C-alpha cells in the first residue's frame, strides 16, 4: 500500500514512472541515436530483479502507472515474464509498453496475456522508402501487421506515436489521420524535441497548431474525452471516426505545471525530468547494499528537487550519448 503521495517541491503529485529496460534498439532512427553511439554493456544494466525491487519501492511511495520502454523493450530476453511480475506488484494499477512494433505481430497476444494494459507504437512514416530512410531498416510491413495484431488482441485503442517533422513526414499527416476512420487507434502527433541536441534541427520543427491545420482539411476536429492516464495529449476525433487523433505540444507549449512523471534508465539512473539535472544513481545504491528505507528517502529527496520548468538544451554537451532518447526511454 502507498505510504503517501510522492510530491515534488512544487506540490505536483508524481504517480507515473517510465522505465527503460534497455538502450538497444532494432532501429536506427536518425533523430534518436547519435552517430557512433556505444551501447551499455549488459553487466552495467539493471537486472529484472533490480527493476522489480525498485518498482516495489516506487509503488509504496505512490507510483501507480509504469511504462516499459527502451530502446526497444521487446528485444530484451525475458521481457514477458518481467511484465507479468511487474503487473503483480501491489499498488501498480496500469502497466503499458512503448515499442517500435517490429515484434508485435508475434507478441501482441502474449503481451495482453501478461497483463499489459496499453501499447504505444512508434511509426513516423507510412511510406516504405521513407520509413527505411528514417529507421535504417526495410520492415514497415511488420509494424503495420503488428498494429493490426494488437487491435485483434484487444488493445483499445492502440496508440501510434508520430514524431512530426517538417520536410520529412508532414506530407503524410492526412494519411495518418485517415487511419482513424476505421481503425481503433489513436494517432498521436508529437512535436520534434531537442532531446538529443546534436540531432536537433529547427528546420524540421513543426508546431501543433500548424499540424492541426493540416488535419482539419479532412473536416472539423471534435474534442474527445481523455482516459484517466491519458497524459498531456489533446485528444480529438474526426466526425464518425472509430479512432482518435492526439496532439502533444512537447516544445511549443510545455506541460510542466502538470508533470507527474519520473524516468528510470536501464543503468539505474533516476531522472526527474528529460531535460533536468541531478540524477540519482539507484544502481550504485543497490550495488552498495542500501536498504529500502535508505532508497526511499533518497528518492523522496530527489523528487522534491524536481525542476519546475524544463529548459531545452540548445547545443550538445558532455555525456549527451548517455541521455539520448534511446537511453532514457523518451
Which of 251, 248, 262 lies closest to 302, judged by CA? 262
Q: In the prediction, which pLDDT does 230 show?
A: 75
Q: In the prediction, which pLDDT does 2 show?
A: 47
Q: Confidence band (pLDDT; 50, 70, 90) for 325?
A: low
Rg of the Cα atoms in the chain: 19
216 - beta bridge partners? none
Count Cβ atoms below 10 Å from residue 275 Cβ, excluding itself. 17
Mean pLDDT (whole number) for 157-161 = 97
Mean pLDDT (whole number) for 292-300 = 97
Backbone angles phi, psi at 314, to 5 degrees: -110, -10
Cα gap 179→57, rounded to integer Å? 40
Q: In the prediction, which pLDDT does 227 show?
A: 81
Q: In the prediction, which pLDDT does 183 show?
A: 97
Residue 309 lies in a domain: yes
Contact yes or no for 226/199 (Cβ under 8 A): no
The domain tally of the chain equals 1
Residue 1 lies in a domain: no
Count Cβ atoms below 10 Å from residue 194 Cβ, excluding itself. 20
Q: In the prediction, which pLDDT does 201 show?
A: 72
Residue 304 lies in a domain: yes
Residue 268 lies in a domain: yes
Residue 31 lies in a domain: yes
CA distances from 27 to 101, 131, 286 (A): 10, 10, 31
Which CATH number belongs to the domain containing residue 91 in this structure? 3.20.20.70
Residue tagged 536498504 (cell numbers) = 291
291 - beta bridge partners? none
Cα gap 117→111, rounded to integer Å? 9
The DSSP call for residue 46 is P
Cα gap 124→170, rounded to integer Å? 10
Which of 8, 2, 3 lies closest to 278, judged by CA? 8
Task: Indicate the SS3 state at residue 90.
Answer: coil
Cα gap 20→22, rounded to integer Å? 6
Contact yes or no for 237/247 (Cβ under 8 A): no
> What are the cell numbers at 329?
526511454
Q: Rounded mean pLDDT of the chain?
A: 90
Tell me the HSE value of 268 on the side-chain side, using a 13 A CA sphere. Answer: 21
Q: From the centroid of its chain, how far is CA 288?
A: 30
Q: From the centroid of its chain, how far is CA 132?
A: 22
The answer on pLDDT for 19 being more than 50 is yes
Q: What range does the domain containing 87 cover?
A: 6-328
Cα gap 221→176, rounded to integer Å? 14
The answer on pLDDT for 203 being more than 70 is yes
The answer on pLDDT for 121 being more than 70 is yes
Which of 164, 195, 189 lies closest to 314, judged by CA? 195
Q: In the prediction, which pLDDT does 311 show?
A: 75
- Tens digits of residue pLDDT in 241-295: 999 999 999 888 878 888 999 999 999 999 999 877 779 999 999 999 999 999 9
Contact yes or no for 93/103 (Cβ under 8 A): no
Residue 94 lies in a domain: yes
**Residue 46: exposed, middle, or buried by beta-carbon count in 10 A (0-12, 13-18, 19+)?**
buried
Mean pLDDT (whole number) for 314-328 = 51
Amino acid at each position: 500500500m502507498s505510504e503517501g503521495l510522492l510530491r515534488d517541491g512544487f506540490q505536483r503529485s508524481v504517480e507515473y514512472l517510465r522505465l527503460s529496460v534497455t538502450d538497444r534498439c532494432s532501429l536506427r532512427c536518425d533523430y534518436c541515436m547519435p552517430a557512433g553511439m556505444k551501447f551499455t554493456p549488459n553487466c552495467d544494466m539493471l537486472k529484472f530483479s533490480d527493476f522489480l525491487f525498485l518498482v516495489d519501492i516506487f509503488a509504496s511511495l505512490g507510483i501507480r502507472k509504469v511504462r516499459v520502454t527502451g530502446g526497444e523493450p521487446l528485444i530484451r530476453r525475458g521481457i514477458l515474464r518481467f511484465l507479468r511480475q511487474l503487473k503483480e506488484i501491489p499498488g501498480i494499477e496500469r502497466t503499458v509498453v512503448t515499442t517500435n512494433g517490429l515484434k508485435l505481430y508475434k507478441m501482441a497476444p502474449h503481451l495482453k496475456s501478461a497483463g499489459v494494459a496499453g501499447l504505444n507504437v512508434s511509426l513516423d512514416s507510412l511510406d516504405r522508402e521513407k520509413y527505411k530512410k528514417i529507421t535504417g531498416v526495410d520492415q514497415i510491413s511488420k509494424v503495420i501487421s503488428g498494429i493490426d495484431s494488437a487491435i485483434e488482441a484487444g488493445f483499445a485503442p492502440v496508440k501510434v506515436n508520430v514524431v512530426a517533422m517538417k520536410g520529412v513526414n508532414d506530407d503524410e499527416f492526412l494519411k495518418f489521420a485517415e487511419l482513424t476512420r476505421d481503425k481503433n487507434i489513436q494517432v498521436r502527433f508529437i512535436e520534434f524535441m531537442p532531446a538529443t541536441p546534436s540531432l536537433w534541427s529547427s528546420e524540421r520543427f513543426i508546431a501543433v497548431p500548424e499540424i492541426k491545420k493540416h488535419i482539419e482539411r479532412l473536416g472539423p476536429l471534435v474534442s474527445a474525452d481523455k482516459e484517466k492516464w491519458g497524459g498531456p495529449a489533446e485528444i480529438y476525433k474526426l466526425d464518425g471516426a472509430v479512432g482518435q487523433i492526439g496532439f502533444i505540444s512537447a516544445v511549443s507549449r510545455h506541460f510542466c505545471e502538470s508533470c507527474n512523471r519520473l524516468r528510470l534508465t536501464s543503468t539505474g539512473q533516476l531522472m526527474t525530468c528529460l531535460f533536468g539535472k541531478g540524477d540519482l544513481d539507484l544502481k550504485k545504491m543497490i550495488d552498495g547494499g542500501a536498504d529500502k528505507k535508505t532508497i526511499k528517502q533518497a528518492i523522496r529527496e530527489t523528487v522534491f528537487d524536481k525542476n519546475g520548468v524544463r529548459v531545452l538544451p540548445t547545443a550538445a554537451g558532455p555525456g549527451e550519448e548517455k541521455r539520448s532518447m534511446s537511453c532514457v526511454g523518451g
